[in-house]
Amino acid sequence: MKRAISAVVVGLTVVLTAGCAGNAGVATSSSGPVRGGMITYAADREPTCLDPHNSGDMPQTYVARQYLDSLVSETAGGRVVPWLATGWTISPDGLTYDFTLKQGVKFTDGVPFDAAAVVANFHQILDPATQSSTDLLYLDSYFDQAIALSNHAVRIRLKRPYSPLLTALSQAFFGMESPRAMARGLAANCESPVGTGPFKVVQWNHERDVQLVRNDGYDSAPANARHAGPAYLDGITWKFLKDNTSRYGALGSGEADLIFNVPPEDEELARADQSITLQSFVHSGSPFSLDLNTRSPIFSDIRVRRAFVHAADAKEAVQSAYAGVFPYEGNILSSGTPDYDRHWHETLPYDPVAANRLLDQAGWTHRDAEGYRTKAGRELSVRLPYNADSAETPPADLTILQDVQAMEKRVGIRVVLDARDEASMNAVKGDPRAYDLLGNYWNSPTPEVMYIRFSKATLDVGNGENTPFTWDKGLDDTLLRASATTDPATQKRLYQAAQGILAAKAWSMPMYPIQTRLAVSKRLKDVWIEVSEGEPVLSDAYLSAGG
Amino acid sequence: MNGSVRLRVLRRLAEAVLLLLVVGTIVFFLEHLVPGDPARAILGGASAHPSPQALAAVRHEYGFDRPLLAQYGSFLAGLLRLDFGESYTLKQSVLSAIGGQLGSTLALTLTALGIAWVLSVVSTLAGAGRNGWWARIGAGVEVIAAALPQFWLGVVLLLVFAVRLHWLPVIGTGATGLVLPAFTLGIPLAGFLGQVTRDEFDAKLKQPFVLSARARGMSEAGVRARHVLRHAALPGITLSGWGLGALISGAVIAEVVFARQGIGQLLVTAVNSQDLPLVIGITFVVALVYVVANLLTDLAYVAVDPRLRTTIGASKA
């Protein structure tokens, strides 16, 4: 899932400093994991609902990973391994998935986890009243029904083959919740969702923190966890520290043990700090990009789109704005995505000569007094609305936009940067007359994200998520064929062909991949980042005695 | 409190009700002028990708498809019942959302007001009406303090006293956690209060009653603290009514920097996501604080200035 525009830094920074040396209850054995201790995690954004079935924003998955288990888990290599489902079989036609469920698992409210619970979860996720934006593009058009075959066997029937299903289900957005808790209704469930996970929600103090304590009965860790059984930590204070200075400051003073998203300007300082370690994870999916609206009179011409990308020098803009903290990514997929093809990394490199030639060919041959190109008396001017909130468009992102604006001016394209508040940004989404360029990204564990972003199906949903407002028969067919096969080699060939098609279309100018960036105190061991959505995993973490 | 004062309070309350209705009306129409779609806010805001069908269903459910005047009518009816409805984004009632945050903001703003008064009184007593560099420095410091941007001051206080010196917590929630945010809001207000109090103090020092007090052999410190200050405090008290309201609406800066709970943060989130019920609820609370603060200001006036105890009711009621 994703959050439009806000792109930039969905980094995750976990930092634990020596300042917590006084933590009560930490055992003093000198080697191996020790049980006990509370930690404070500082996040940069607060979710609007703790139940990740509702909405579908990144901060929800980060915290939900601590109290919800999913059916399956994804490994660093992109493999799917058992979690609450101990095994599964897929029918040859790719339409039927039979899951065997782990036995003896209970939700933290005492309700047993069984096939009926799984069915209830899919029911809630797909219910329009739940307002899940994740299901809409991942499940809705494929999902037929979930059936309880026995107490611990569930069948999922699909309307059409969908090979990314398991990978999609590994996200915390599809975590399993207690049917009894869900029955309380969305409002109550937003405040205190109940899962089978390693921690449980005690209380959500809005605008401040979420209090989590260990689930002592936990015995359903995923196959790729570092240990089975209950978490080592007694609990987590999941704090919301929106201000960069105070978040990094809380780490320095020892009041936070881990912080999410080290501000890029503090990156160097953090690297030099011996008391913390930095962890970063490049999200798979679609990188932060400027999408070109093909319904705009200007960008309907592919020559102008290509000229725009040739002239922008996106690589230099990213490198100068993010000082090497974020790498440049020129492919429609981020490098960590399965079947990523390096060949399409930079298909339209910085080339002002080519840009000028293309614009001449497209008929934008005259210049006005300011040096901008004109055609039939009309100026070559494009609108780029962006969110004025600095949490959504951080200073470095604005620098990138301004750099692009300056570079485009050199070839005679005026870029109008249009700062807007969130409400009027929402109005822009989905309105092809409201923009020529729009920032977008989509974090996803599967290359199928190309279908989510650029298919006819998404365009037909009409929610503005197909930002370029276009589709291509060849691309759709390629991606649907990839969905329909379970053969990895065929998938790879098709997904790589799709990347090539998208590179040629110039519907989107990719810039940099979204990252999860954690700074972890040296005293806090075994924090890791899972790969489906870059969620921080704290169930294996422990406070070392020596620190 | 005598009868006329009670009458005056009643009149103030009637004014307040009228004021709140006007405020609610203005906010209602302003929010509808902002481009954007509240149905999107309800369906998850910027992070969501609702389908047109889902949007249409929500528009119908909440009545956004009805004429604006009809919506205004139900809105007014809700107001009269003191029913602010449910927040679009938080999935809880507006009153409980505000109730969860208000205590923290009031603690912060009242502490900041207290700090502002202590600082300005100390500065006035020490420097006002005296000649030489000490008075000039005092006046200069007040001007600078009044001009300090709160967001800058907050970050500087944070970096110096919490991050560098470790004297105070960065994100503490208890009494120690209140110190830095309260000073962040209190110092600029102290500058304002100090300026008006000092001017008034200088003027009152030249009054005949000061001369007569001195003639009775009262000490200089006694004259300043017991007689002149009482007079000089009046404009500051007037300013405090406004100050408390300004502190509430400006609290968001300290709340964000020091990660405190509070209605300031809630308001910013609500405005950004076009959460109309929440915006109106918080605007109401802020307006209510202004009203109550002005009422208290009037009462404080009476307490400080004995002359008003006999005249205020007669002349104004």
Higher per-residue confidence, A438 vs A138: A438
Measured between beta carbons, the chain B residues lying within 8 angstroms of A464 are 49
Nearest-CA distance B119 → chain A (Å): 26
B163 contacts chain A (CB < 8 A): yes
| DSSP class per residue in A354-388 | HHHHHHHHTT--EE-TTS-EEETTEE-EEEEEEE-
Q: Nearest chain B Cα to A428, which residue?
A: B36
Put simply, the answer to whether A462 touches B100 (Cβ < 8 Å) is no
Q: Where are the alpha helices (DSSP H) in A207-313?
A: 244-252, 267-272, 302-312
Nearest-CA distance A251 → chain B (Å): 9
Is a pLDDT exceeding 90 seen at residue B113? yes
Q: Nearest chain A Cα to B271, which residue?
A: A423
Higher per-residue confidence, A261 vs B41: A261
B48, B91, B166: residue with CB nearest A190: B91
Is a pLDDT exceeding 80 seen at residue A22? no
Nearest-CA distance B89 → chain A (Å): 6
Measured between beta carbons, the chain B residues lying within 8 angstroms of A245 are 155, 158-159, 257
Measured between beta carbons, the chain A residues lying within 8 angstroms of B261 are 205-208
B252 contacts chain A (CB < 8 A): no
For the stretch B55-83, pLDDT in tens is: 887 888 888 888 889 989 988 888 888 88
Residue A191, token pair as written in the block: 């405040």
Is a pLDDT exceeding 60 seen at residue B42? yes
B190: Cβ contacts below 8 Å, ≥ 6 apart: B115, B116, B117, B119, B120, B123, B142, B145
Nearest-CA distance A378 → chain B (Å): 27
Per mean pLDDT, which of A18-32, A437-451, B139-153, B201-215 is the most reliable? A437-451
Identify the pLDDT of residue A6.
Answer: 34
C-alpha dihedral, A459 to A461 to A466 to A468, nearest 10°: 40
B160: Cβ contacts below 8 Å, ≥ 6 apart: none
Mean of the per-residue pLDDT values of chain A: 89
Nearest-CA distance A102 → chain B (Å): 33
Is a pLDDT exceeding 90 seen at residue A365? yes
Q: How confident is the model at residue B314 (pLDDT cuts 50, 70, 90)?
A: very low
Put simply, the answer to whether A243 touches B257 (Cβ < 8 Å) is yes
Nearest-CA distance A226 → chain B (Å): 32
A158: Cβ contacts below 8 Å, ≥ 6 apart: A94, A95, A96, A97, A142, A143, A144, A165
Put simply, the answer to whether A256 touches B171 (Cβ < 8 Å) is yes
Put simply, the answer to whether B45 touches A48 (Cβ < 8 Å) is yes
- State the burial class of residue B146 (Cβ atoms within 10 Å of its Cβ: 0-12, 13-18, 19+): middle
Identify the pLDDT of residue A2.
Answer: 45
B156 contacts chain A (CB < 8 A): no
| DSSP class per residue in A296-324 | STTTTSHHHHHHHHHHH-HHHHHHHHHTT
Is a pLDDT exceeding 70 seen at residue A516? yes
Residue in the block written with tokens 């089975």: A228
Put simply, the answer to whether A207 touches B274 (Cβ < 8 Å) is no
Identify the pLDDT of residue A31.
Answer: 64
Put simply, the answer to whether A206 touches B90 (Cβ < 8 Å) is yes
B235 contacts chain A (CB < 8 A): no
Quick one: average pLDDT of A159-186? 94
Is a pLDDT exceeding 50 seen at residue A469? yes
Instruction: Report the alpha-carbon distance of residue B261 to residue B104 in Å, rounded.
Output: 6
Interface of B with A in 94-113 (CB under 8 A): 97, 100-101
Is a pLDDT exceeding 50 seen at residue A91? yes
State the pTM of this model.
0.84
Higher per-residue confidence, B4 vs B264: B264
Residue A382, token pair as written in the block: 């494009």
- C-alpha distance from residue A414 to each of A74, A288, A406, B316 (Å): 44, 22, 9, 63
Instruction: Report the alpha-carbon distance of residue B110 to residue B143 in Å, rounded.
Output: 22
B143 contacts chain A (CB < 8 A): no
B50, B258, B259: residue with CB nearest A240: B259
Q: How confident is the model at residue A455 (pLDDT cuts 50, 70, 90)?
A: very high
Higher per-residue confidence, B194 vs B52: B194
- C-alpha distance from residue B294 to each of A16, B29, B109, B240, B297 (Å): 47, 27, 15, 9, 5
Q: How confident is the model at residue A183 (pLDDT cuts 50, 70, 90)?
A: very high
Identify the pLDDT of residue B313.
Answer: 44
- C-alpha distance from residue A65 to each of A50, A75, A285, A528, B1 (Å): 11, 15, 19, 12, 59
Asked if residue A114 lies in contact with residue A101, where contact means CB atoms within 8 angstroms, the answer is: yes
Instruction: Report the alpha-carbon distance of residue A199 to residue A214 in Å, rounded.
Output: 4
B37, B97, B171: residue with CB nearest A239: B171
Q: How confident is the model at residue B3 (pLDDT cuts 50, 70, 90)?
A: low
Per mean pLDDT, which of A32-41, B43-52, B279-288 is the most reliable? A32-41
Q: Of A204, A134, A200, nearest to A169 (Cα)?
A: A134
Is a pLDDT exceeding 70 seen at residue A546? no
Is a pLDDT exceeding 70 seen at residue A25? no
Quick one: average pLDDT of B237-262? 84
Does the ipTM surpass 0.90? no
A205, A250, A426: residue with CB nearest B261: A205
Backbone angles phi, psi at A231, to 5 degrees: -65, 160
For the stretch A419-454, pLDDT in tens is: 988 778 877 888 899 999 999 999 899 999 999 999
Interface of B with A in 3-62 (CB under 8 A): 34-37, 40-54, 57
Nearest-CA distance A430 → chain B (Å): 9
DSSP A69: B
B176 contacts chain A (CB < 8 A): no
Q: Nearest chain B Cα to A53, which residue?
A: B44
Nearest-CA distance A211 → chain B (Å): 14
Maximum distance among all Cα pairs of chain A, rounded to whole angstroms: 80
Measured between beta carbons, the chain B residues lying within 8 angstroms of A49 are 91
Residues in chain B: 317
Instruction: Report the alpha-carbon distance of residue A542 to residue A181 in Å, rounded.
Output: 30
A447: Cβ contacts below 8 Å, ≥ 6 apart: A164, A333, A337, A338, A339, A340, A482, A495, A498, A499
Nearest-CA distance A376 → chain B (Å): 32
Instruction: Report the alpha-carbon distance of residue B112 to residue B106 in Å, rounded.
Output: 10
Identify the pLDDT of residue A536.
Answer: 96
For the stretch B192-214, pLDDT in tens is: 888 888 888 888 888 888 888 88
Put simply, the answer to whether A253 touches B169 (Cβ < 8 Å) is yes
Q: Within a 13 Å sphere around the CA of A374, how many CA atoms are in the beta-carbon half?
A: 10
Identify the pLDDT of residue A263.
Answer: 80
* CB contacts < 8 A (A, B): 160
Is a pLDDT exceeding 50 seen at residue B268? yes
